[in-house]
Structure 1
Amino acid sequence: MRPLRPGDPPSVGGHRLLGRLGAGGMGVVYLARSAGGTLVALKVIRAEYAADHDFRTRFRREAEAAGGLTGRWLVPVTAAEPAAREPWLATAFVPGPSLAEAVTLHGPLPDRTVRVLGARLAEALTEVHAAGLVHRDVKPGNVLLALDGPRLIDFGIARSAGATALTASDVVIGSPGYLSPEQARVRTGGGGVGPPSDVFSLGCVLAYAATGRRPFGTGTVAAVIFRTVHEEPDLDAVPWTLVPLLTACLAKDPAARPTAQEVRAALTDEGGLTAGEAVDAGDALTDGGGPAPDWLPPSLPRLIAERSSAALSLPDPSPGPGPGPGPGPGPDPRPGPGPVTLVQPDGVPEPARPALSRRRVLALGSAAGVVLTGGGLAAWAATRSTADRDGSARSGPLPRYVIGLQADLSGPDRATGRAQERGARIAVSHFNAGSGGSGSGGSESRDTTSQGATSQGATSQGAASQGGGSQGGGSRAGRPFDLALKVLDDAGKAKRAEEVTGRFVADHDVYAVIAATGGSAAEVAVARYEKALLPVLSVSSGTDLYAATTTRAYFQLRPDEYALATPFIHYLTHVEKSRRTALIDDGAARRASWQIVKDMSAYPPSQGTTTTHTVPADSEDFDAVAAAVLAADAQAVVYAGTSPHRAARCARALAQAGFRGTRMASQPVLETAFLKEAGPAAEGWVISATYVDPAALPAAARFVETYRKRFGVRTVERYAVEAYDALLFVAQGMRELGGVEPERGAMVRRLRQITYRGLAKTIEFDPVTHEFRWVNSLFLYRVQNGVPVFLGHYDKAKKP
């Protein structure tokens, strides 16, 4: 909510305006209190639309239609006045966040929550369609999340089924990314828009809720609409149990889609679709058909509680003009709230009803008695969270700081970007629950004069930071602030990265960014962040950007590709003890291969000898190299290239030649293509890498369990736990600044002074050169039974 502006009226239709909830092309939405003390969301239509007689006619008709909808999952219309100079419409106020806000700040929703969300929205649309209406703008911004279930809002462009468009015929009605193909075809004179259009939009909304991304991507409006009409949706990250249903909802042909009632049946296991199997909602629904009390993930109820408490604590409307109260003690002279008068669409006032005092509203404390959905429980929860479990009182919510995540979420490195996003979101949840302040061993600072961060002197950082909430309501002891995560997709493209970087730099609520997933976007991003002195951390980029910049603000938390020779030398010296090592220099890898060969030739394993065998970039003849390796009587082979395909050719050639010694390669090789193409020849290969398998780390057991449960996967993707560590490393830097509000320049200095013992590795920097101690980030894997098995830190690996 924002304060009222000087030009805003003090009241509308007997409702006292309290603040702005939002503004759009059609008008402004206010938070208002009725004469009876009820909080409402009141939309006032802009004057330019009100001057159009046809618009007023449509507005009256739509207000009448929306006023007749009373479903549990729809926000009821409480008053409307189409004949006013500026038409307005009031609906019940729901203090919960929109689905768009919840996903932006807390990430994709769990599968269980998505099923409940879909079932309830489908039930709402069933009533809408039964009334002969089409919503036409089902999108995440029009879905509010309350403690007792979701609410579908904003019938500003709802239309009677088969009616013409609300505005000119060449204007698309709806929101690109969520509108149906038939809505998009309005420009070209396509057919009418009916209930199947809302089902298509619902499918898009559920895909977004489950993955955090639109099924038809992002970009220009024209590009999104083209993909909506002509291409298949991207459902790769959607939980498999939901894929058949969403595929049916997103059919291009409206006749092939299920009805809203069929969607509800599929999601509540009351029936199924011919296009796919039904999805069981399990224990997420109560016997009465409503969501279970814990249908939302733990991070959201606290946010709802805070907003409910803030709304309930708003002052009563100021009295109207007239003489003020006389001096001296006595009863409160302010008039109590008067009767509630609803101005019906036909202009006839509804008979007055007994007013509820504000004290009575608070006493009722239920969703039915208070228009604030879930308000009683939420207000209690907010009050409960203002005291520590030890009984020490705290006043107000903790300050909340934002950490950005810039990643490739839709380009060639989207798997890595998605893993980092997931790891970072879990870190925020754990931190806000009071259990994520450190990794396995905690952290320490080399600056012994730094103060512990226990003060609450900093203040909230604005709208962008309003979403980070506690997961599970852990103790506030030792946690001086909450965190929120802001995620932007650069698609791995330099131009897009420049735009995203600019947005983070301009957002002064952001104190650090995890970025540089890889590709051409990395260098562009780092240079811009460096100039702004905004701390930027990379956990997966192997590009040596440190030497390319002045790099005070850049923190590369992994070795570059040229450091991967160290594990080779150590392993072949202390584990396999190779005295004669063959180095295969792959010309296709250029400098990366050349550097490994150079380092190992200068420091041969076991202080023995090395021989170098080169394969030209334009050749895939590894048979000759394999014969030369045998002729050199080598005890070990190191493939120095970076291509999984060429490494597989090398592995097969060595196996066919009968080589039985140790075979090693670097991280870029360890891909599915290598394992698949090499087949049995990959068995026993040892790979040096810069990421861990958290499932093999006892200290990461809680992280792995949370990750698997939250995202519905069996395997934690690479660099997820590294992103988790990076975010908590930044949080520790904020703590180390003591009781003052973080500042970007101070963060840059502090982060290079602390040591953070994370789940994957220890993060620390050399006190003289200020470079990351990359020796902590080198690990080994061995291919066993066709899969890579984590051996641990390179100096801990043992002979099989």
Structure 2
Amino acid sequence: MRSLLAEDPDELGGHRLLARLGAGGMGVVYLARTPCGTLVALKAVRSEYAADRDFRERFRREARLARGFTGRWLVPVTDADAEAREPWLATAFVPGPSLAETVDGHGPLPPRAVAALGARLAEALSEVHAAGLVHRDVKPGNVLLALDGPRLIDFGIAQTHGATALTEPGALIGTPGYLAPEQIRAGGGAVPASDLFALGCVLAYAATGRRPFGTGDPAAVLYRTVHEAPDATGLDGLPPPLRTAIARCLAKDPAERPAATSLAHTLSAAVPGAADPRTGTATGPGNHRAPGRGADGAGDGPDDWLPSAVLRLVTERSTRALDPPARQTTPTRPSAPAEDRGPSRRRVLAIGGSAAAMLATSAAAMVLLAKGRGRGKGGAQGGAGRNLPTHGIGLQGALTGGRQEAGQAQERGARLAVADHNARENIRFRLALTTYDDRGEAAPAVDGARRLLADRSLRGVIGPTTVAAARAAVPLYGTASMPVLPLSVDYNATGLSAAKVRTLCVTTAPTSYRTLPVLAYLTWVHKVERTAVIEDRAAGAPSADIVRSLRETPPSDGTATVHPVASGANDFRPAVAAALAARPQAVVYAGTSPSRAAACARALATAGFTGPRVTFEPVMRPAFPKTAGAAAEGWVIEAPYSDPQSSAAKAARAFTAAYRDRYHVPPARWAAEAYDAVGLIARSLDSLGGVDITSGQVAERLFKLTYDGVAKPVRFTQDLTHSLSPDNTAFLYEVRGGEFRCLGRYDQVR
């Protein structure tokens, strides 16, 4: 919500204007008050468009169609004048964000909320279809979220089934990514089932935060919609009835999709606790839920259907509507008209009438305010009501496949960071996260990089998750001057060079620095002067690097003896016996295999050695304590990732609480590092002024920053390599009771 400008009128059609809700090339949307005191969203169209006879006819039709709807989940038109010099249309004002703003800023909705969303939107579409109309632009930006349920808006392109569109011949009407295949093949021709396909796309996006046919070049999105299966990443975690309903909506054949009325009934019972769209009461098992937060993270009471952070945002906007900002008194310079790009015959038109700025007050919002529900930590979305630029951050990783645990943790950490940034007061820009699942494989990684780079708002990329994916994708980002921050990838193993890929920003210590925590532990925590190194030659180069480092710089400036185990040998007892003959005070296993490390641990335990035993992160897998048994107890392991829930730092405690509140589990490995990566990019954007920024500028600025993150401090050397300063960037864990317990950042362990 922004102040009225000096040149804005005081009133339109008897409505007193209070503030600006939004503005675009076609007109302005105002917050206004009717003569009887009701708040409305009033859309005024610029006179140059009103001079177009076809446009005025379309506007007249929009007002007529929207006036005829009475459904609870459709925004009613309260008044309109299609004959005025500047036509205007007033609708009920709903003080809620769009679904797009909510998911991009706060992450996917819980299953119960998705089911309620789908049931109510399906009911709205059933009324539209019963009137012989097709909406044709069901998308997240046209869905507003209110306290009592969603509202479907923007009937500017709704038309009678079979009618001729008032647009240029051959144009597609709607939004790529939400158009049904038959609309694309027929050049915009739509049937009621087309709206169901779009609704399936909307629900998949609401549940996962991912667009089922991807993003990027519109032509590529349209091609995937017609010829490829939808991206089902994340849908497998939904309750089967909800997952099946979404899959049916996404069927390529319109005849295989459900009718809107049928879908409304199906979704109302898809998830226990979802509200019946006809009554607003919960259905299915557990429909007598007592007040309090549901297990899926929805709101605080039986009538709440949205996560608490979104409910708080609605409350804040309701408050802001009651106290609009004062009008500006200094006239602004008129903006230059947008450049005419000469649309082609097959141009995709995203024709919007009433955009997501049609937001509105309800009695339920006043009840919420009367209850005194506060904004809460991280609840208010500070920049949401302001006309701020949006900068995109991409996350490319193994969201499925063998490394999905790391990829999914990074996605969660990044989403939390984006939501936290957007919730702050006085921000100069908003962030939006786009993800791509490359499964950790090279070929999909190349496709993912190309798709992400097609987004002109992209300012940085986090990932990939694996060495193979990084080798394939990182050079593409470098060529495009796009900063790329791989987190869980060993920089040394990729063979990539920061001197050649100038935008490669490595925030994780490579293996060449992994001995630093071990040296610190065996010098300051357990001061030892004689160290034995069991070199597992099955590990190859990583083991040789560790041996070379410990030989050159042994703990406490003492001595280090090396005792190799051949790659084909499985018996560690001879090497252990030779090592213990040197009377070491500590033993280091230099290898990467959890099972072979377990064999080493058993041999040491059998020989009676109880001094410090240390190894490295690749061993930190469940197989190590499971295979070694009691022999694994007390082993200390270096790792490049933090465990914020075990930290006493204020930032780590806040991150852990927010992560638990949102995902209902403790932070997973690499989540905090992804949170910090988003913070580092945001810090770079902010230091550049927040607007008119290129990705190359972001890449250049990243390396000049000092950033104290949740996980660790991030600093870079000021030379040609732009290397991460390795001091204080790794952590120590200890095996206790068969679990890996974090001791802390290595420089803080006592």
Report the TM range for the smaller structure's normalisation. Answer: 0.5 to 0.7
* 2:728 maps to 1:776: yes
> So what's the TM-score if we normalise by structure 2?
0.65
Shift of 1:487: 2.6
- After superposing the two structures, state which structure 1 stretch, 206-215 or 292-301, moved more: 292-301
Query: Deviation digits for residues 550-587 of structure 1, max 9, x if unmatched?
Result: 99987643312221123344556665967432111346
Q: Give yes or no for contact 1:165–1:173 (8 Å, CA) kept in 2.
A: no
Q: Give yes or no for contact 1:96–1:307 (8 Å, CA) kept in 2.
A: no
Q: Distance in 2 between matches of 1:279 and 1:666?
A: 48
* 2:509 maps to 1:559: yes
The one of 29, 32, 39 equivalent to 1:31 is: 29
Q: Distance in 1 between matches of 2:137 and 2:706?
A: 49
**Number of the residue aligned with 1:714:** 665
Shift of 1:724: 3.6
The structure-2 alpha-carbon separation of the partners of 1:101 and 1:688, relative to structure 1 and needing over 3 Å to count, comes to same
The structure-2 alpha-carbon separation of the partners of 1:746 and 1:70, relative to structure 1 and needing over 3 Å to count, comes to closer
Query: Deviation digits for residues 525-546 of structure 1, max 9, x if unmatched?
Result: 467659xxx8x86655542699
**Number of the residue aligned with 1:543:** 491
Shift of 1:142: 0.9
Query: Deviation digits for residues 364-419 of structure 1, max 9, x if unmatched?
Result: x99369xxx969999xx9xx99xxxxxxxxxx999979776332157677755654
Query: Deviation digits for residues 80-111 of structure 1, max 9, x if unmatched?
Result: 68899999876456565432234334444566
The structure-2 alpha-carbon separation of the partners of 1:683 and 1:158, relative to structure 1 and needing over 3 Å to count, comes to farther
Aligned runs of 1:107-122 on 2, under 5 Å? 107-109=107-109, 114=114, 117-118=117-118, 120-122=120-122
SS at match of 1:202: helix
SS at match of 1:612: strand
How many aligned residue pairs are there? 648
* 2:532 maps to 1:580: yes
The structure-2 alpha-carbon separation of the partners of 1:640 and 1:282, relative to structure 1 and needing over 3 Å to count, comes to same
The structure-2 alpha-carbon separation of the partners of 1:681 and 1:155, relative to structure 1 and needing over 3 Å to count, comes to farther
The structure-2 alpha-carbon separation of the partners of 1:293 and 1:540, relative to structure 1 and needing over 3 Å to count, comes to closer
Q: Give yes or no for contact 1:96–1:145 (8 Å, CA) kept in 2.
A: yes
The structure-2 alpha-carbon separation of the partners of 1:797 and 1:248, relative to structure 1 and needing over 3 Å to count, comes to same
* 2:437 maps to 1:423: no
The structure-2 alpha-carbon separation of the partners of 1:126 and 1:194, relative to structure 1 and needing over 3 Å to count, comes to closer
**Number of the residue aligned with 1:391:** none
The one of 394, 402, 425 equivalent to 1:406 is: 394
The structure-2 alpha-carbon separation of the partners of 1:212 and 1:179, relative to structure 1 and needing over 3 Å to count, comes to same
* 2:263 maps to 1:259: yes
Q: What amino acid does structure 1 have at the position aligned with 2:264?
A: A
Shift of 1:127: 3.4
Shift of 1:14: 10
- After superposing the two structures, state which structure 1 stretch, 407-416 or 785-794, moved more: 407-416
The structure-2 alpha-carbon separation of the partners of 1:502 and 1:741, relative to structure 1 and needing over 3 Å to count, comes to closer
SS at match of 1:259: helix
Shift of 1:235: 4.7
**Number of the residue aligned with 1:456:** none
SS at match of 2:728: helix
The one of 206, 210, 213 equivalent to 1:209 is: 206
The one of 788, 794, 800 equivalent to 2:740 is: 788
Q: Distance in 1 between matches of 2:723 and 2:225?
A: 45
Shift of 1:229: 7.0
**Number of the residue aligned with 1:689:** 639
Q: Give yes or no for contact 2:116–2:275 (8 Å, CA) kept in 1.
A: no
> So what's the TM-score if we normalise by structure 1?
0.62
Shift of 1:153: 0.8
Query: Deviation digits for residues 122-166 of structure 1, max 9, x if unmatched?
Result: 443343345454434321011124566532112234355x75785
Shift of 1:213: 1.4
**Number of the residue aligned with 2:379:** none
**Number of the residue aligned with 2:310:** 296
* 2:43 maps to 1:41: yes
Identity across the alignment (%): 35
The one of 433, 436, 439 equivalent to 1:487 is: 433
Q: Distance in 2 between matches of 1:169 and 1:277?
A: 48
Q: Unaligned regions of 5+ residues in structure 1, if any? A: 316-364, 386-395, 433-467, 471-475, 616-620, 642-646
Q: Distance in 2 between matches of 1:132 and 1:399?
A: 37
Query: Deviation digits for residues 37-89 of structure 1, max 9, x if unmatched?
Result: 7642256899899778xx99998777644321122321223456889999987
SS at match of 1:702: helix
SS at match of 1:208: helix
**Number of the residue aligned with 1:346:** none
Query: Deviation digits for residues 311-340 of structure 1, max 9, x if unmatched?
Result: 88589xxxxxxxxxxxxxxxxxxxxxxxxx
Q: Distance in 1 between matches of 2:307 and 2:406?
A: 35
**Number of the residue aligned with 1:610:** 562
Q: What amino acid does structure 1 have at the position aligned with 2:643?
A: D
**Number of the residue aligned with 2:335:** none
Shift of 1:682: 9.7
Q: Distance in 2 between matches of 1:230 and 1:554?
A: 32
Q: Unaligned regions of 5+ residues in structure 2, if any? A: 278-282, 292-297, 330-358, 377-383, 439-444
SS at match of 2:491: coil
Shift of 1:209: 2.6
The structure-2 alpha-carbon separation of the partners of 1:680 and 1:232, relative to structure 1 and needing over 3 Å to count, comes to farther
Q: Give yes or no for contact 1:429–1:469 (8 Å, CA) kept in 2.
A: yes
**Number of the residue aligned with 2:192:** 194
The structure-2 alpha-carbon separation of the partners of 1:583 and 1:178, relative to structure 1 and needing over 3 Å to count, comes to same
Q: Distance in 2 between matches of 1:184 and 1:282?
A: 47
SS at match of 1:610: strand
**Number of the residue aligned with 1:632:** 578
SS at match of 1:250: helix
Q: Give yes or no for contact 1:44–1:88 (8 Å, CA) kept in 2.
A: no
Shift of 1:629: 2.9
Q: Give yes or no for contact 1:135–1:157 (8 Å, CA) kept in 2.
A: yes
Shift of 1:599: 1.2
SS at match of 1:687: strand
The structure-2 alpha-carbon separation of the partners of 1:679 and 1:203, relative to structure 1 and needing over 3 Å to count, comes to farther
Q: What amino acid does structure 1 have at the position aligned with 2:192?
A: G
Q: What amino acid does structure 2 have at the position aligned with 1:484?
A: R
**Number of the residue aligned with 2:551:** 601
**Number of the residue aligned with 1:127:** 127
Q: Distance in 1 between matches of 2:365 and 2:21?
A: 22
